[in-house]
Structure 1
Amino acid sequence: MKIFLCRLSQPIFIWKLLTIKENNLRETEAYVYGSLLVISSFANAILYNWYIFNLRNLSMKVRIACSSLIYRKSLKLNKNNISKTATGQIVNLLSNDLSRFDKLFLQIHYLWAAPLEALIILCLLYVMLDPKGTLGISLFFAFIPIQLYMGKKYSDFRLETAIKTDERVRLINEILSGIQVIKMYTWEKIFIKFTNSIRKQEIRYIRKTSYLKALQNAFNKFLSKGALFLCVMVYIFTGNRLQSQYVFVIKSFYNLLQNNMTTNFPEAIKNIAEASVSVKRIEQFLLYNEIKHNKIQEMQPKKGVYLEKISARWSSAVSDTLSEISFEATLGQLVTIVGTVGSGKTSLINVILHELPLAKGRINIAGNISYASQEPWLFGGTIKQNILFGQPLDDVKYEEVVNVCALNHDFELLPYGDNSIVGDRGITLSGGQKARINLARAVYRNADIYLLDDPLSAVDASVGKQLFNECILNYLKNKCVVLVTHQLQYLKKSDIIYLLKNGKIIASGNYEHIRNCGEDFARLLNKEVEYEDNSTDNAMNQKLLNQKEEKQFYENRSFGTIPLKVYFSYLLSGGWCASSVIVIMFIVSQSLLSGVDYFESYW
């Protein structure tokens, strides 16, 4: 409101100064009005920047809050919804959709402020000058339905653009994930064709949005000049003598309307339309089903995992992935899950983690869970940070975990030990080293239940034996350990063994009981187990010694100012002809706008 008063008072002070002789004002009053004009302009600048500063803070807080919601939601999605959501879609939500809120909060108040200011100016013109001076404002109001229609089209184009952008980002993500296969089969041109096809569809909607924006800008330039022209012509043709104070006061009021009614008001409609699409997309993502955590039931005598006749299936599966599974693992037990590939071992772990929703049955998890996934993963940071994973550092426990996970020798070979950086632009590790770091991360966490999904398959026989004896049997002896494995030599030391086939438990019990239960287990025992060639660990150890230490700290960067050739290459990417036409049209457009103001003052 204070900004309104400062803006609206300026044309009034100009009118007072231009009518000094007619109103017989004294010289001191002229100085007063001149000073008030300067003060109002200064106050308007201060208040406007303070207003923008607060709105930017508000939009930043909303954006951070929504980013946090999306991050938290992505961590809570169950497996069925994760399969529907690509990483590129989440990145698009965070980078593209949330950026709409920045512009929205800067412009949204003009949706009511601009029409209100137009009504106030309408009343001032009617009182101060002549009813004919209000005719030009009708032109502004006449274009409001057109601006609303453009806002609706903005919303439609924004939605179509977002859909095509998601498709393109998803395809690019899949191409990068499988680039080795694409290169091996020389499918580059095929996938380039797919990518270009989707990009052309995306550009088509972007081009339509740009045309609409250009049309809106043309209306904005026309409205203020057209409204002034209409007022002056009506004033002259009704037999009045044109006076300078009349023209300049109307121009001052219409300049205020030009900023709000022809620029900020349409921008507010456009930003609201685009933000509404972003809100719907974010809402759709936030409404995806989350992992359901069952409460711990104190009736259980021991902490552990209790499944009672559960059945579960993936969203893409026709039949149940797991059927009529009853499972129990308590503190102090080593429970081993075995079975052929595709028998449902990892799916059973996902049920315990609440990643795979139940179709029927009951599940009770009594205690905290730590999980080592089948595919080891590392994030960009030091090895120590990967093992701690946000947990506070306990030096004694950390040394014990590193020792039982057979990482001491690897730390001696690495340039900076456990402070060596892994991930992008970091030290390259073998599959076995990644698996041991992955296992150490799970073991370091203080939990009651440890779910270990085939952690021994990526290491050699001697290291696997050390991990099983020192880590699983000894260090975790007082914990509930659920081990998925293909390596049957460790089954003799298991307390309970569950044999899975086609999503069903066909046998359970200790080693001797399972061994005598039937021919399925005998066939499984006699089947040759293929171990991954762990010689890569030894080869990688030698490779680590030869890596340059500078690799951790230096990245490819350029310093100083941006060279002119970068700007020229950017312009030339659009072609000489198109770039030249755009520059010429910009110069001609600005010259015509400046010429209008010059001719107006001369006239």
Structure 2
Amino acid sequence: MYALKNQFLLSMFLFLLYCAFSFTPSVILPHMVNYVQDPSVPYWHGILYTVFAVLTSILGSLCYYHSQWQSGLLGMKIRTMMMAAIYRKATRLPKGSGVNSGHIVNLFAGDTNLIFDGMPQMISGLISPIQLLGAVVFLGFYVGYYCLLVVVVIVLAFPINVLMAQQSSKLRYAIQQKADVRLKLTTEFIQGIRIVKYYAWEKPFLKNINSARDGEIDRVRSLCILRAGVMFVIGNTSSIALGLVLLFYGLWGGKLKIDEAFTVIAIMNNIRLPLSWTSIAYLLYTYNKASIDRIGAFLKRPERTPYVFSDDSRPVGSISIENADFLWTSNEPVLKNINLEVNPGEKVYVVGKVGSGKSSLVMSLLGEMPFSTGSVCVTGKVAYVPQQAWIYNATVRDNILFGSEYDKDKYDKVVTATSLLTDFKQFHAGDLTEVGDRGMNLSG
């Protein structure tokens, strides 16, 4: 995050320049009104005012959109960093950690996106109080201390916005939790769609998914109502402040000329936008805080402790397990006092009934099973071939190479040794045949 400070400061500086340029209409408006009313003013004054207004408007737009672009890039980089941290953590969680795939997918797709989408508004919200203060001081030159009524209205409206934002944050957290459940059920449904169709389980699965979605939609509806309330308060605060300023200023004998009245209205417009940005930024802050809390809780989960070590004094390809106990989620070991010696070149078969711990023993050699006592030594590289092959949507050759460079001689030796040439002949394009995700268009 420290490496992104320059981009953050650049975005802040550009938005600060935009705020400065936004006061140009309020400064130049009295002179333009005076130019229209007074025929004695030289015509080139009007041209000068117009050119100045157009140039400052263009410069302000350039600063604003460049600031938004920089803050968008900043949000994208932060999102990428968070996604990398989540992925890294997901690969280090122990078996039986209790984290479902729907929760991880929602962290990737939902929580990180909220942070990315809210970054431009957060930059605006940090600078907006400065613009608000400048507008109130500028207003004081025309209506005196009555400008403090604007501050009073903002202070009175702020607790309402805070209360609504806090409730919105709680609803956002509840929505994300419901989305975790929905994504988990949807993922299970899609992954097992073939079995679901075989046994005609569509309706029970869809009922569970719709039930989870209904709970999510109820909270989304409540969140939208709260957001509408926040926007109503934001949209009317500046109008109420303007009405009170003009009312009390007029009741106590204050008078405004035409050019001064137009300027006061222009200044109040300068108050309306930063007031909206500040309130929206606080609302997004509560959303982002809920997402950051979820991501932080996930990243703080305990990781599996590496226990498999390599001994250079032993021959490459040897395996040694001495007095080791392995367990899953409970404190009671699944595998007790395991001792195993495998020498290079040996073929070892593990035979046993279902649930006897065959897969657990293999997982322990990979360091994937929680470990309590003993030692596990694996010298050399380990290749693991699971029961269910992982096939992605590409050609047969790409699935065999798996990202490695194509070496024809080596490739031919591998497919010959694994007796794949006969299978290639059954495909219409040989090993260049496209296969679907998880090999859905292959048989056997």
CA deviation profile, 1:138-161 (whole Å, cap 9, x unmatched):
322322222222221121111101
Give structure 1 stretches of 5+ with no counterpart: 432-603
> What does 1:290-439 correspond to in 2, within 5 Å?
290-293=303-306, 294-315=308-329, 319-424=332-437, 428-431=441-444
CA deviation profile, 1:509-542 (whole Å, cap 9, x unmatched):
xxxxxxxxxxxxxxxxxxxxxxxxxxxxxxxxxx
Aligned partner of 1:461 in structure 2 is none
Q: If the length of structure 2 is used for normalisation, what is the TM-score?
A: 0.88
8 A Cα contact 1:421 1:427, kept in partner: no
What secondary structure does 1:160 align onto? helix
1:9 is matched by which residue type in structure 2? Answer: T
> What does 1:75-474 correspond to in 2, within 5 Å?
75-81=91-97, 84-179=98-193, 182-183=196-197, 186-262=200-276, 264-293=277-306, 294-315=308-329, 319-424=332-437, 428-431=441-444
What secondary structure does 2:96 align onto? helix
8 A Cα contact 2:395 2:433, kept in partner: yes
What secondary structure does 1:79 align onto? coil
Which has the larger helix fraction? Answer: 2
Are residue 46 (structure 1) and residue 59 (structure 2) matched? Answer: no
Change (3 A) 1:180 1:385: closer
In the TM superposition, what is the alpha-carbon distance from 1:183 to its structure 2 partner? 4.9
Cα distance in 2 for partners of 1:285, 1:415 equals 47
Give structure 2 stretches of 5+ with no counterpart: 1-15
1:428 is matched by which residue type in structure 2? Answer: N
8 A Cα contact 1:55 1:106, kept in partner: yes
In the TM superposition, what is the alpha-carbon distance from 1:304 to its structure 2 partner? 2.2
In the TM superposition, what is the alpha-carbon distance from 1:187 to its structure 2 partner? 4.6
1:224 is matched by which residue type in structure 2? Answer: S
2:183 is matched by which residue type in structure 1? Answer: V
In the TM superposition, what is the alpha-carbon distance from 1:430 to its structure 2 partner? 2.1
Cα distance in 2 for partners of 1:356, 1:234 equals 74
User: Which of 201-210 and 415-424 deviates more?
Assistant: 415-424
In the TM superposition, what is the alpha-carbon distance from 1:128 to its structure 2 partner? 4.4
Cα distance in 2 for partners of 1:108, 1:217 equals 17
8 A Cα contact 1:310 1:324, kept in partner: yes
Counterpart selection for 1:10 from 25, 28, 38: 25
In the TM superposition, what is the alpha-carbon distance from 1:319 to its structure 2 partner? 3.3
8 A Cα contact 1:133 1:250, kept in partner: no
Change (3 A) 1:360 1:277: same
Cα distance in 1 for partners of 2:361, 2:199 equals 35
What secondary structure does 1:306 align onto? strand
Q: Percent of counterpart pairs with the same letter?
A: 27
Q: Which has the higher contact order (CA 8 A, sep 6+)?
A: 2
8 A Cα contact 1:125 1:131, kept in partner: no
Cα distance in 2 for partners of 1:355, 1:392 equals 29
**Please, what is the CA RMSD of the aligned residues?**
2.4
Cα distance in 2 for partners of 1:427, 1:161 equals 34
Are residue 68 (structure 1) and residue 81 (structure 2) matched? Answer: no
> What does 1:514-525 correspond to in 2, within 5 Å?
none
Change (3 A) 1:284 1:395: farther
1:217 is matched by which residue type in structure 2? Answer: M
Which structure has the larger Rg?
1
What secondary structure does 1:143 align onto? helix
1:61 is matched by which residue type in structure 2? Answer: K
Aligned length: 426
2:178 is matched by which residue type in structure 1? Answer: K
In the TM superposition, what is the alpha-carbon distance from 1:27 to its structure 2 partner? 5.0
Aligned partner of 2:12 in structure 1 is none
In the TM superposition, what is the alpha-carbon distance from 1:98 to its structure 2 partner? 1.2
Cα distance in 1 for partners of 2:194, 2:423 equals 28
In the TM superposition, what is the alpha-carbon distance from 1:30 to its structure 2 partner? 4.6
Counterpart selection for 2:52 from 31, 36, 52: 36
1:275 is matched by which residue type in structure 2? Answer: N
8 A Cα contact 2:125 2:280, kept in partner: no
In the TM superposition, what is the alpha-carbon distance from 1:417 to its structure 2 partner? 1.2
What secondary structure does 1:77 align onto? coil
1:421 is matched by which residue type in structure 2? Answer: E
8 A Cα contact 2:390 2:438, kept in partner: no
Change (3 A) 1:68 1:188: same
8 A Cα contact 1:15 1:245, kept in partner: yes
Cα distance in 2 for partners of 1:413, 1:188 equals 34
2:332 is matched by which residue type in structure 1? Answer: S
In the TM superposition, what is the alpha-carbon distance from 1:412 to its structure 2 partner? 1.4
1:255 is matched by which residue type in structure 2? Answer: N
8 A Cα contact 1:125 1:134, kept in partner: no
1:66 is matched by which residue type in structure 2? Answer: M
Cα distance in 2 for partners of 1:35, 1:188 equals 68
